[in-house]
Amino acid sequence: MTIGSADASVLFTRSRPVRAVSREVRELIADLIVTMRRARGVGIAAPQIGVPARVLIAGTGTDLLALVNPRMRRRWGSQLGPEGCLSMPGVVADVRRAFGVEVDARSVTGRQVRVRATGFLSRILQHEIDHLDGILFLDRLDSPRGARARDRERGPFRAGPRPPRRDASGRPVRRTRRSRR
């Protein structure tokens, strides 16, 4: 499999839950692992290869987590750090995330698991679960100027202006320091 698809709209759509961890789901997990390793990434979600299913891979070494239907149970603390994405090569931005998370999911065998992670693994899980919810890390920036490109050959990355936030009645809400969080 390759990262990206002809129809990139899958990246902006909430992925559908997986009914059962079948042979096809295990094959998808194997494809995700191979794709992530070839791209030298630390995490990947099924929508990044064009599959709108709630499946992700996370891990920084030889131990990889394959999670099916992950659901954020709890978050705590705060950390600000650089993030990139296999779907947007060369783009890096400082993103504020929870320092620790607790996630409920199914394992590759279909067993219910609870994962507790802190630090970098916590950041990876949050990033990949965002992919499953149709959210890109650039959507988490405090400012559209926060993203920068690593690769000078591609030219500078410019995030477009964010649409104004709206209150319950649909009127634009003025951004203040406090509302940016």
Tell me the β-bridge partners of 67. Answer: 56
Neighbours of 147 (CB within 10 A): 21
Give the residue from 14, 17, 15 showing the smallest Cα distance to 105: 17
Residue with tokens 């990949």: 128
CA distances from 65 to 8, 13, 83, 169, 181 (A): 25, 23, 19, 42, 29
Which residues are CB-neighbours of 106 under 8 A, at least 6 positions away? 18, 21, 67, 68, 69, 112, 113
Catalytic residues, which ones?
128
Classify 134 in phi/psi space as left (phi over 0), alpha (psi -120 to 50) or beta: left
Distance CA 8, CA 49 (A): 9
Q: What is the DSSP letter of 91?
A: E
